[in-house]
Structures are given as structure tokens and as C-alpha cells.
Amino acid sequence: MNTTARPALNDVRTEVAKAVVGQDHAVTSLLIGLLAEGHVLLEGVPGVAKTLLVRSLSQAMDLNNSRVQFTPDLMPGDVTGSLIYDASTAEFRFREGPVFTNLMLADEINRTPPKTQAALLEAMEEHQVSVDGTTYPLPEPFMVIATQNPIEYEGTYPLPEAQLDRFMLKVKLDLPSPEEELQILHRHATGFRPTDLVQAGLKAVADADTIAAARAEIAQVKTSPEVLRYIVELIHATRNSPSFQMGVSPRGSTALMKTAKAWAWLVGRDFITPDDVQALLLPCLRHRVSLRPEAEMDGVSIDQVLTGLIATVSVPR
């Protein structure tokens, strides 16, 4: 296997930590999503460095990035691009939208109406945009990193199920611990500026070629029949759970396998284990299920139900 891709991608986490305190789980999840050719939804209250996290990742990987602030008046063409009239040629030409990049930050995606949210579906699924019968391919690698505030906040629109299912991972960003918050304050007190990542000492340690090499190696990670069966049994447990209105679709089981392979490779193995599957279960599945009303009334959470299901499925040896 390539001897440089894995160390370089692990170094990305060290670089991002120069700007973002804590959130190592989120950084690792973003790397896994990128390596598994998926998209990631970040959820957290305002002020937990969601935007800074994405900008830092882009800087550390020498990738192009764009940021779209999703608002109630945002139109689909503002995201994908649109035809504009060129007076010099008397013809319409396509003007690319911010989706034509490597890492697209869809900031506060649940603040825009479903029609604009849906404008991302083709881009996320097929890595292309279709306008007026013409298809325009997106750059590679391409990943949408969407952020959202908890849906109970005023002025938000819950993401449609079809949109949620296109995200490979949903990662929850927690508030910092007292020690981490003290470190944040110390950095700002000594001159740290979130808008100047170069001044923070953050440098590129990987690039698009590194990602391509890593993906080629991840494709060779072994998946035993026993572990694949374990994934299927976990997925079917969600479909049979009395707490869920509907279980996880086959897209969810595929995502669980792909992310487990990426994680196994990232930690230096060429095979996946049941532990890898369990480690990715919550971020892979929590956004693909919804609770029945009676379960909500009982005060249980989706994460609690999913964690409980792990205990009901036999682990292969």
C-alpha cells in the first residue's frame, strides 16, 4: 500500500487542531466522509466552530472551497448556477454557481426552503449539475459539508428525508469542555484570528492526489462475509425496532460499510472489524430513522435506541 497517503491524511487532523480546539471526532468524521466519497451534515448550536472547521480542513488539504449562507430567500440557481445573457455574443451562457468546488460549505442549510435544499440532490448524488438540458460535471473530489442548527430553533425547515439520506454521516458538535474553552480564550487573547488561518500556522499537508491515492487503497480493504452479515443484521434491527417509524434503507447499509472501510484504512488496517462498524453506526444511521410518537413521549432519543440495538445483534468472532 502507498506509504504517504495515510500519514499525510492523519497529519491533516494535527493541522486543523491549530485553528480548532477539540472536535477531533468531527475532523475525523469529515475525513472519513471525504475518503468514502460521501457528504457530511454537521449539527450544533451557533458558535461551536462549524464554519472554521470546514475552512481549516480545506486549507490543510489544499482544496478549493466555497461557502453558501442558506437563507429563506436563496434560490436554486444561487447554488448550482444559471444561464445568463451575454450581450457581446447575443447568446446565453452558463455561469457556474458555488457548488463548482471541492468542498462546499452549505451553512445553516435548514434555514432555506425545501426547494432550494433539493437543488443540491443531483450534485450530491451524481457529482453533476443539469441546467436547460445540459450537464456540467463537478470537480473531483467533491463533498458537501452542510451545517444546521437544531431543528427546534425558530425559522428552520427540517430537511426532507430524501435530502437527509444523501448525507453519508451526521455528526453532532458538542459544546467545549471548560478546559477546551479556556484554551480557546487563551488563543484569542494572544492574537488568534479565525479569518487568518495562515497566521495561525496552518499549512497544506495533503491534496487531491493524496485523496485519490487513499481512495484506491481503501477500495482494497477486505470485508469478510461475517462482518457484512453483521452490518445487514444491524440494519434489519432498525427496521424491526418498535421505536422507529421506518428503518434504514440499503443506502444506509452501504454507507456503513464504506465508512467502516475508510476508518479501518485510516488507522492502519486492510480489513474491517465489528468494532469499526459499531464506531460508525451512530453518525451513519442517526439521520436515516425517525422515532414513533410514543417513543418520543417516553423521552428516548434516536442515539439511545440505536445504541440499544447493538446489544441485540450477535457480534461475529
Greater pLDDT, 158 or 13: 13
Range list for CATH 3.40.50.300 in the chain: 5-213
Q: Tell me which residue has cell 487532523.
A: 13
274-302: pLDDT as tens digits = 999 999 999 999 999 999 999 888 889 99
Output the pLDDT for position 183.
86
Q: How far is CA 78 from CA 106, 112, 113, 176, 315, in A?
A: 12, 12, 13, 34, 48
Q: How far is CA 6 from CA 40, 59, 218, 266, in A?
A: 21, 18, 10, 6
For domain 5-213, the CATH architecture is: 3-Layer(aba) Sandwich (3.40)
Does the global pTM surpass 0.75? yes
116-149: pLDDT as tens digits = 877 888 889 889 988 888 889 999 999 999 988 7
Range list for CATH 1.10.8.80 in the chain: 221-310
Spell out the CATH class of 221-310: mainly alpha
Query: Residue 38: how many CA atoms within 13 Å on its side-chain side?
Result: 29
Mean per-residue pLDDT of the chain: 88
Q: Backbone dihedral region of 176: left (phi > 0), alpha (psi from -120 to 50 degrees) or beta? A: beta
Q: Is the pLDDT of residue 72 over 90?
A: no
Output the pLDDT for position 103.
94
Q: How far is residue 271's CA from residue 245's CA, in Å, rounded to a whole number?
A: 34
Q: Is the pLDDT of residue 200 over 90?
A: no
